[in-house]
Amino acid sequence: MMRPLSLFLLLLVVMTEATASQRIRLDGEGTPTARIAAGEPSILSVEGGRITKVWVSAAKATVKADEDSGQVILQPVGLGKTQPFSVIVKDDHGRVHTVVLRPARIPGETIVLVPRRQRDMRARRRAIDWEASQPYERTLVELIRRMALGRLPEGYEAVPMRRAVPLWEESEMHLVTRYLGGYLSGEVYRLRNVSEAEMRLAEREFYREGVLAVAITRPVLQPGEETEIYLVVEGATHE
């Protein structure tokens, strides 16, 4: 005799097949945010893992867990229908993730949390060997050259970012790509002049703690023009 399909599981299957999804990258830089349907249930899942525990204010959302799929269904209630609220999730790898959900007048969606992943240690070893194969100053110059050409140094990994970076009112700046290496990492930014005046850029304006080298493709921008900015940063971020 076939086992009856539970109403919860049926709802989960229907929502998984019919709804759109948001992929929320958990890169460790601030608390990530996502939209959640204010008036409908939404699915919350962890890519490559299963949710084992969820903490959320009962005054703002209800939680229904499915042990078979490792997903949960969240339904905003009360203040959660109009105000952002935090959800803390623990997965079966022991990782704990926090995400802020902002209610919106949208259909229910699948919210997929994408955890940081550990790089292959063999790749990192190759990156360290590449960094040590030439003089220090030459390594910095060569890393910038490789980023400008879109060519990965040995053992490096390019991670698309596409993240807005607040800078000046006269500009729009985005972190486009991060290059993960051994003891170094590279960052590629795109900056656009959104003012009505000429903009002059100096490398010293982009130094911060840990930045070892800066290169600007076009240091002078007319209104509407843009440039790439390359940074070499001490201490690689291993995602």
Chain mean position to CA 132: 30
Residue appearing with tokens 């893992």: 49
Instruction: Give tens-digit pLDDT for 135-188.
Output: 999 999 999 999 999 899 999 988 888 788 888 999 999 999 999 999 999 999
Q: How far apart are CA 47 and CA 124, in angstroms?
A: 23
Tokens 């900015």 -> residue: 229
Residue 88: beta bridge partners? 55, 98
pLDDT for residue 9: 45
- How does pLDDT run across 99-137, given as a tens digit for each residue? 899 999 998 889 998 876 655 678 888 999 999 999 999
Specify the long-range contacts of residues 197-204, CB closer than 8 Å, at least 24 apart: 197/170, 197/223, 198/222, 198/223, 199/170, 199/171, 201/227, 201/229
**110, 16 Cβ separation under 8 angstroms:** yes
Residue 196 pLDDT level (bands cut at 50, 70, 90): very high
In order of their start, the domains of the chain are 7-115 (2.60.40.1550), 121-234 (2.60.40)
Please give the full DSSP string across 128-165, using - where no structure is assigned: HHHHHTS-HHHHHHHHHHHHHHT-PPTT-EEEEEEEE-
* Distance separating alpha carbons of residues 113 and 131, to the nearest angstrom: 33
Assessment of whether the complete model's pTM goes beyond 0.75: no
Distance CA 195, CA 218 (A): 16
